[in-house]
Amino acid sequence: MGNSLKNSRFVVERRLVEAARGDSKACYELGVIYASGAQGAAVDLIEAHKWFNLAAQSGSQEAQMCRAEIAGEMTAREIATAQKAARAWRAGTMAQAA
């Protein structure tokens, strides 16, 4: 079981690295992980919305649909928090790239 948890963390960490490089598919996959609790992650709709939002901004229609679907289960405050987190992530990755 410990090895499985390590592998799950590795998958999430790998997707984070890929997302930081601008990989919209990695952003989408992170959204799926947090929306479903896959890879041993806790379900976190704010985090899921953030990642779907970032993928949607890169043109992913799947991410747009997933973002809209989970938004129906979130409060306006949670959505605002997720949007702020997405803007902060994008600003942080742009600053690192510069």
Concatenate the DSSP letters of all residues of 43-59 into one string: P-HHHHHHHHHHHHHTT
On the question of pLDDT at 4 being above 90, the answer is: no
At 34-52, the pLDDT tens digits run 999 998 889 999 999 999 9
What is the mean predicted confidence (pLDDT) over 69-93? 95
Number of domains composing the chain: 1
What is the mean predicted confidence (pLDDT) over 63-67? 97
At 5-28, the pLDDT tens digits run 677 788 889 999 999 998 999 999
What is the mean predicted confidence (pLDDT) over 62-84? 97
Residue 36: C-alpha distances to residues 23, 66, 84, 92 (Å):
20, 11, 22, 26
- CB count within 10 Å of CB 44 equals 15
The confidence score (pLDDT) of residue 2 equals 55
